[in-house]
Amino acid sequence: MRRIYMDANATTPLLPEVLEAMQPFLINSFGNASSVHQHGQQARAAIEHAREQAAALLHCQAAEIVFTSGGTESDNTAIFGILHPGDHLITSSIEHDAVLHAARKAQERGIDVTFLAVSSSGMVDPFDVSSALKPNTKLISVMMANNETGVIQPVEQIGRIAAEAEIVFHTDAVQAAGKIPIDVSAIGCHLLSLSGHKLHAPQGTGLLYVHRGTRFEPLLFGGAHERQRRAGTENVAGIVGLGKAAEIALAGLTDGTDERIGLMRGRLEQGLLAKIHDCGVNGAHRSPPQGAGVVAWGDAGQPRVPNTTNLYFDRLEGEALLIALDLKGLAVSGGSACSSGSTEPSHVLKAMGLPLSRARASLRFSLSRLNTEEEIDAALELVPTAVARLRELSPACKKHLAEAVAK
Ligand SMILES: Cc1ncc(COP(=O)(O)O)c(C=O)c1O
C-alpha cells in the first residue's frame, strides 16, 4: 500500500542533501571539535559553517546561536536559565509541553507563573500580556506558531511590550522556522527555540538563539562548549545537518516551495470542507480562500503557517478516524495525548474553548515540501470516505439521525 505522510509538525524525514552533508562527519571526519589536531579543526570548521547557515535563517549573528539537542532543551534552557524563585513568568495556555511542563516545574520551585488564556481562534492577546505584567516579571514566553493549529501569535507586539518593560522575551519558534520568515530583531526576542527535525534535519538537533548580552544560566555544566552556554561534546554530524536544513528552508521561503505548500494546504482544506458536512477549521474564524498562499491572513482567517490545518469532524472520534486513515495509508495526527488508557483531548483546543466532543473529533494535517498534489487528491478521497463510514457506525450519529427524523 502506498503511504502518505501528512504529519510534518510531528517530524520530517532528512532531505537527501542534508544526509549528504552529514555523511562525512559520521565516518571519515569524525573529530571532536575541541581537539587541536586537524580532525578537530575540520569538525570545528563544519560547526561554525552550520552556525552561519542557522544564523541566516533567523537573521542574527552566528555568535548568537547555541546548538542544543532540540526544541525541548532550548525551551527548558530559556525557562530555567532565566528564572529564580520569587520571579514571575508569563506564558500561554497553548504552549507545547516543553514550555508548559517546564513552567509547571518552575512553579513547584517557587516561581510565580501566569498562563494566559487564548481567544477562540487560538491567539494570545498582547493586551493580556501587558495586563499580566508584575514588578517581578522576569520572562515572557509565547510561541511563534502553534504546533496543533498553526496559528501565528502576535510575537512582534509582545516583543515591544517586553522591550518597554525591560523583560526577557523567549519565543518557541519550533513550528515557525522554515515555514514563515523569522527576523529576531523585528520580533525583539532575546531567546528563540528551534528544532532540527521539524525542518528535515535529524531528530535530537536544535538551537537556542540568545540575543547578544542576554545573561542566562546554562542547563548543562561541563566543558566550555558553545562558549560556556551548553556543555557537552558537539553532535557534529547533527549540527551540520541542521545547518544544511536551515539553508534549504531559508531558500524555500522565496523559491516557491513555501507557497506551493500553502496552496496544497488550501486545496486540501477547501476540498474537505466542501465534501464533508459538519466539518470546520480550528484556529480560523473563516476559511482562507482557495490558494490563499503562504499565510491565510486577516479577513480570510487567523494567520497560520502555510502547512497546517486542524479540522473538526463532528459526530465522530478523532482517534477512530486517525486509525481508519492510517489503515488506508494516510498518516495524520490527533493532537490528543493517550495516557493510561484514556484519551485526553488536546489542551490547545480545550484552551480555545472547543466543546470536548469537538476537540476529540479533531485531526491535524501538516504538510511538508515532500507532499505532492497527487497525495492531496488521494487524501480528498480517503478522508470523506472514512468520515462517512465512521459516522454511519457512531452512536452519536445514529442519535442525531433519529432526532432529525423525529422533528
Ligand atoms: C512548538 C514545539 N515546541 C517544542 C517542541 C519540542 O521539540 P523537540 O522535539 O525538538 O524536543 C515541539 C515538538 O513537537 C513543538 O512542536
Mean pLDDT by 10 residues, the chain (407 residues): 96 98 95 95 98 98 98 98 98 98 98 97 96 98 97 97 98 98 98 98 98 97 95 97 98 97 97 96 63 37 89 95 98 70 82 95 97 98 98 74 66
For residue 306 and ligand 1, the question of a CB distance below 6 A is answered with no
Output the pLDDT for position 287: 45
Q: What is the DSSP string of 104-157?
A: HHHHHTT-EEEEE---TTS---HHHHHHH--TTEEEEE--SB-TTT-BBP-HHH
For residue 179 and ligand 1, the question of a CB distance below 6 A is answered with no
**Quick one: cell of 378?**
488521494
Output the pLDDT for position 342: 56
* CA pair distance 284, 62, nearest whole angstrom: 36
Beta bridge partners of 281: 311
For residue 144 and ligand 1, the question of a CB distance below 6 A is answered with no
Output the pLDDT for position 401: 60
Active-site hit among 189, 279, 338, 397: 338
For ligand 1, atom 14, the nearest C-alpha belongs to 10
* CA pair distance 10, 18, nearest whole angstrom: 19
- Tell me which of 9, 96, 180, 200 to substitute to probe ligand 1's pocket, judged by most ligand atoms within 8 Å of the beta carbon: 96
Residue 207 — left, alpha, or beta (φ > 0 → left; ψ -120 to 50 → alpha)? beta
For residue 150 and ligand 1, the question of a CB distance below 6 A is answered with no
How many angstroms separate the alpha carbon of residue 96 from the centre of ligand 1? 7
Q: Kindly give the number of the ligand 1 atom that is closest to the alpha carbon of 206.
A: 10
* CA pair distance 14, 17, nearest whole angstrom: 8
How many angstroms separate the alpha carbon of residue 236 from the centre of ligand 1? 21
User: CA–CA distance from 403 to each of 279, 293, 398 (Å)?
Assistant: 20, 41, 9
For ligand 1, atom 4, the nearest C-alpha belongs to 71
* CA pair distance 399, 332, nearest whole angstrom: 28
* CA pair distance 308, 227, nearest whole angstrom: 36
Q: Which of 137, 143, 103, 106 is nearest to 123 (CA)?
A: 143
How many angstroms separate the alpha carbon of residue 270 from the centre of ligand 1? 28
How many angstroms separate the alpha carbon of residue 174 from the centre of ligand 1? 6
Q: Which of 188, 225, 217, 208 is nearest to 66 (CA)?
A: 208
Q: What letter represents residue 179's amino acid?
A: K
Question: Per-residue b/e over 34-50, b at no fewer than 16 CB within 10 Å?
Answer: eeeeeeeebbbebbebb
How many angstroms separate the alpha carbon of residue 72 from the centre of ligand 1? 6
Q: Kindly give the number of the ligand 1 atom that is closest to the alpha carbon of 10.
A: 14
DSSP state of 63: G
Residues, the chain, total? Answer: 407
For residue 170 and ligand 1, the question of a CB distance below 6 A is answered with no
For residue 206 and ligand 1, the question of a CB distance below 6 A is answered with yes
Residue 60 annotated to the active site: no
- Tell me which of 79, 179, 195 to substitute to probe ligand 1's pocket, judged by most ligand atoms within 8 Å of the beta carbon: 195
For residue 143 and ligand 1, the question of a CB distance below 6 A is answered with yes
- Residue 11 burial (10 A CB sphere; 0-12, 13-18, 19+): middle
Output the pLDDT for position 305: 96
